[in-house]
Each structure stands twice: as structure tokens, then as C-alpha cells.
Amino acid sequence: MDEQIPATEEQNFALTELGPGLKKVRRRRWWLWGVVLLYLPIMVPPVEMNWSLKATGIAFLLWYVLLFAAALYMALARCPHCGNYFHLHGLTYLPLRRCLHCQLHINADKLR
Ligand SMILES: [Zn+2]
């Protein structure tokens, strides 16, 4: 991580300029994690209350649609440095902590 620390004040300024864009990418990542965490609150009632298979399937489908939407929302986040999709490279979708194009770290604006 030490190699990411900017050497000059000029570089520090450039990284803080990226802050709002990186914050947007981070927020979209949290949306995806939020939907992943919604799985239990959505799926426990149908199982606990012995809902029909159809009703349980509808609850799962609802969660799955939310997951897909959150993943798409995250995938379409643009890198504030290079302008490309942060988590997409061609058809490759990798929710890593670095931009797949310019290797900008998700917390580059916070590293000092
Ligand atoms: Zn980038």
C-alpha cells in the first residue's frame, strides 16, 4: 500500500479531485452489498411460515431482480480518473477494489 502514497502535494490535490467520483463508485458497491444482505430478511419469512413453493419462488425472484439491478448499477459506475467503467472491462465484470483500466484504487482519495 505504501507505493500508492502520493509523493507530492500536486499528486495529493489530483487524488482529492477524484473524491466525489470515487465516493459514487463506493456508494454503488454498498448498494450491492445491501441487496446481498437483504437475502435473509426476504427469504426467512417464506421458509419460516411455510409459504407455498410459488410464493417462496416469487420472494426469491424479487430478491434476484434487486440483486441484478444493484449489480448492473455498480457495473455502470465510471472511473473518475480514466472515464471507463470501474468494474467492467469488455464483458469481464470484476467487482475488485481497483479500476480495471487504470488501476486506480477505490480509496485512492483517502490514502495519504
Ligand atoms: Zn480508471
pLDDT of 10-19, one tens digit each?
666 677 789 9
In a domain, 112, yes or no: no
The torsion angles phi and psi of 18, rounded to 5 degrees, stand at -80, -10
In a domain, 11, yes or no: yes
In a domain, 106, yes or no: no
Rounded to an integer, the average pLDDT of 95-111 is: 93
Task: Compute the distance from residue 106 Cα to the ligand 1 centre, in Å.
Answer: 10
For the chain, what is the mean pLDDT? 89
In a domain, 108, yes or no: no
Report the alpha-carbon distance of residue 98 to residue 87 in Å, rounded: 8
Report the alpha-carbon distance of residue 40 to residue 100 in Å, rounded: 31
Percent of the chain's residues with pLDDT above 90:
78
Q: State the pTM of this model.
A: 0.78
Task: Find the DSSP H helices in 1-112.
Answer: 9-17, 19-37, 39-48, 53-75
Task: Compute the distance from residue 82 Cα to the ligand 1 centre, in Å.
Answer: 4
Q: Which domain holds residue 36?
A: 2-93
Cell numbers placing 71: 449489480
Rounded to an integer, the average pLDDT of 50-57 is: 92
In a domain, 7, yes or no: yes
Cell numbers placing 94: 470484476
Whether the pLDDT of residue 72 is over 90: the answer is: yes
Looking at the 3D structure of the chain, how many domains does it have? 1
| Residue ranges with CB less than 5 Å from ion ligand 1 | 79, 81-82, 99, 101-102, 104
Task: Compute the distance from residue 58 Cα to the ligand 1 centre, in Å.
Answer: 38
